[in-house]
A and B are shown apart, each in its own frame.
Chain A
Amino acid sequence: MDRYRLKNIIILILSLMNVFLLASLAIREGARQSAKETAVEQMVSLFAADGITLDPDVISDETPPASRSLTRSTDLERRAATLLLGTALSSSDQGGGISSYSSDRGAAQFRSGGSFDVSGTLCQENPTDFCQDFCREFGYSKPVFQLDTNATGTGTAVFLCDGLSVYNCTLTFTITEGVLTSVSGTLLPQTYTELASDVEPLSASAALTAFQKVRRETSAVVSSVTELELCLEYQSSSTTSMTLIPAWCIVTNTGEYYVNCSTGTVTFGGIL
């Protein structure tokens, strides 16, 4: 048999092998998709049995990110204090992780867990623009304000880490008659270290199951689940550094619930 024919036979065999392997992978992928669709249908049925409408499209395929460790940054705190209180600052370390700054505009206190409180006459012109600039500078979402006709009220923003909102890390701006008089909340650095974990984070389906279990135990009234998205939960203990843990945010018609991806703990975030 000449070389030409032999090579043609080899090419034919290899082609058939490739077709077979591709078909095998396609069948497996199809089975995986089918299993996933079945799981989604079962989840929707499970919720429907309790009178809760669950949109199957909200059940995400996303894998939660790894937990993140943050380290307190005194430079960040000084920058925030400078922006709010001006450059003529005096600072002191009061011990226990409490740092204070003051100027003729007011005073600020920063603590080791990231919480801070600044009060005084912080901005007298266009305070809402000032607050937006502050949020942009320090990685927060655009603040949402509720002001009355006297330009008095509050604004809130949430910290964002790589586009994911940290639901329990917020800023509150207080404006009194057009003057920004206080800013308080949690100030976190934007750099972090990813933490390795042996525990696989909860998937969206597992988070919904955990939520359903707690909802039954607490007899919480819910009739529909409208959104399910990844977010982060901020934790700071007395003995560990600041940590961001991935969580699922389950938006229902009666409020938001947060499911910790590491522990499965369900927290009620409040009425919408």
Chain B
Amino acid sequence: MDAKRRNHRDFLQNIIISLLSLSAVILIAQTQIYSLGDSSEYFQQFLGGDSAEANTAVQSVSLSSPLRVAVSGTYGRYGDVDLVTSDESFRQLGSLLGEALGSAQQSISCSQESFAAALNRPSIYYDFLNPQPLSILATELGAEVTSDTFVRSLLLSDNGANSIQLYFWDGADSFQVCATALTPSDLDALIGQYEQGNAFFASDRAALDETFAALAPWSLFLQTTPELPVLSAQPMQTDTDALLTALHFNPRTNYRYPDSSGAEVIVEGDRSVHIRPDGTVFYRSGSEATLTIDVADPDAPAIAEAVSETSALVSELLSDTGEASFYLESVAQTGTSMVLRYGYQINGTPIRFADGGTAVEITLTGSVISSLSLRLRTYTATSELSLLLPLPQALAIAAQHPGAELSIGYTDSGASSVSACWLSD
């Protein structure tokens, strides 16, 4: 009996010790979790290390473009001269344009007068600053368009016959128009959201003022000239090894030397890259196809593919542009060669270079990047505001070049400070 009681007592004690030990372990763990904060992060680190692995493959990037918009209604125009297609404030405007592009019927040529008349009806005018491949613009707007027509501006206008027409302008003298599936109520609903009267085109005042008449008719102005900050500009702090790796050079190569201008020259076979102290980089390919883009037809890449691939490379090369970002400025195709230019923009305002150059210029020969130039710059806005010429003075200067378009932008001359100014193109 004593033995039975002792065994029973032993068993109970063992149970109690087990339960108390388990309880203590749980409470210690709970205390540790409390101390460490987010438990999921703690266990992730404990079990699997850093879950965010470095992705060494170049990923495609979503391009966004600066643009100017004029919303025209019964009471005047609303304008925005520093929008970007990725802005939240562009969302509804972009959606409507995307639907128009996606539902666009066959286009036909029309006259400049028709285009101008359409601007004076309830309409929304989108100016992408430079002629762009329509397929690229459509992709940014979520629509699918296979045409490689180049367009600078698009216009949605109520034709008064219960339908909305889409006008295209190539930036030169080609105008096209087509029908869409949008209805006037779609356009009116969006126009009604904007307070009209803060903007005008040069053509709106051409009859009253000679200086406006001398300008490009669709130069867009705001009643109140925008206040833009002065930018601080400096050569981009870039990792040379990462740059060389992106250009498919061996970063540990011994074939590197400074040239007479102070640029570092790296040579690999008959390929070379020059890196200047001011942040300018020049790349020349050799006889071998080392730096290429991945496209379906290497001999004749489609524009959309070329833009997609090169923008991914540019995103990797321009690692620290500060508050600025890059955008596709232009695409020029000649035979098997294609030249793509990317520029900088900050909050929808383009940053040009005083010598007429561009941030990135890539020359493709088929799928091979035969040459590439970069201006590695970092821009940040300061608290100082740019001093712009009063509009009348800017108009008087621009009027000396009839047909010029007057707009506001930044011009980088290589100095550490970049101010906004009037640009006449």
Residues of A with Cβ closer than 8 Å to B?
3-4, 7-8, 10-11, 14-15, 17-18, 21-22, 24-25, 28, 94-98, 100, 111-113, 235-239
Contact = CB atoms under 8 A, between A and B. Distances in A.
Nearest to B62: A239
B141 interface: yes
B386 interface: no
Given A238-B91, A238-B94, A25 B27 contact: yes
B95 interface: yes
Nearest to A95: B103
Number of chain B interface residues as a range:
35 or more
B102 interface: yes
B98 A28 contact: no
Nearest to A117: B185
Given A94-B181, A96-B181, A239 B142 contact: yes
A21 B25 CA distance: 10
A238 B98 contact: yes
14 contacts: A4-B6, A7-B13, A7-B14, A10-B17, A18-B20, A21-B24, A25-B27, A25-B30, A96-B100, A97-B98, A97-B102, A98-B181, A238-B98, A238-B140
Contact of B31 (A8, A24, A97): A24
A24 B62 CA distance: 51
Contact of B20 (A3, A14, A113, A239): A14
Contacts of A95: 102-104, 181
Interface in B101-127: 101-104
Interface string B3-25: 00010011001101100110110
B75 interface: no
Contacts of A3: 10
A25 B26 CA distance: 12
A112 B141 contact: no
Nearest to B96: A238
A184 to B, nearest CB: 10
A238 B13 contact: no
B181 to A, nearest CB: 4
A218 to B, nearest CB: 16
A11 B17 contact: yes
Contacts of B86: 239
A100 B23 CA distance: 64
